[in-house]
Amino acid sequence: MSTVAGRLAELREDFDRSFADPVRRHDDEHVELLTIRAGGRPYALRLSQTSGLHPDRPVTPLPGPQPALLGLAGFAGQVVPVYDLAALLGHPVAERPRWLVLAGGNPPLGLAFHDLDGHVRAANADIVQEANDSDAAGSVRGMVGLPGGVRPIIDVPATRATVHALTGHQVTDQEAAR
């Protein structure tokens, strides 16, 4: 019985001490990436630029002039437009994507892709960034060397800007602040 009481006291002390310890910082030397395939090609997404990952999510098709727009999907009572990432990247699309990632930020946006290869943690030193040019066209912003080869990194905010340009949607300051 005394060993249980001792262990409880130890756990209580550890718990109390955790509030006195300084706040832990995220590792600034590494980046978390999702390795994916869109249109049969390998890419990576920064996990920090996403807010959810979903397989086989039902998407209600919408008619319209944008071939990249797959339709709408529901998430916690919110309707989100879903775009085919391969189509946004300019690749021909033969089959419907299986995976869907929610883009971080506002307004809500879903990006669908074909295959999820995995989750990796890469050193910042392994990432080659493109110049910080706000006028740069396209969604790719850098490359990362990983086992199995080099992958382009898709910048989710740049992809959101591509979608907005396709739709003519102007993001208001109020939307961006949400």
Closest C-alpha among 109, 113, 121, 110 to residue 85: 113
SS3 label, residue 15: helix
> Would you place residue 176 in the very low, low, confident or very high pLDDT band (cuts 50, 70, 90)?
very low
Cα separation of 50 and 58, whole Å? 19
Model confidence pLDDT, tens digit, residues 16-53:
776 666 555 556 788 999 999 999 999 999 999 999 99
pLDDT at 115: 95
| Res. 101: pLDDT tops 80 | yes
**What pLDDT sits at residue 105?**
87
Mean residue pLDDT of the chain comes to: 84
Of the chain, the percentage scoring pLDDT greater than 70 comes to 83
Could you tell me the domains of the chain?
29-177 (2.40.50.180)
Query: Of 132 and 120, which is predicted with more confidence?
Result: 120
pLDDT digits 0-9 by tens, 140-174:
888 998 888 899 999 999 999 989 888 776 554 44
In the predicted structure, residue 15 carries a pLDDT above the cut 60? yes
Q: What's the predicted TM-score (pTM) here?
A: 0.76
pLDDT over 90 (residue 114): yes
CA distance 2 to 76: 48
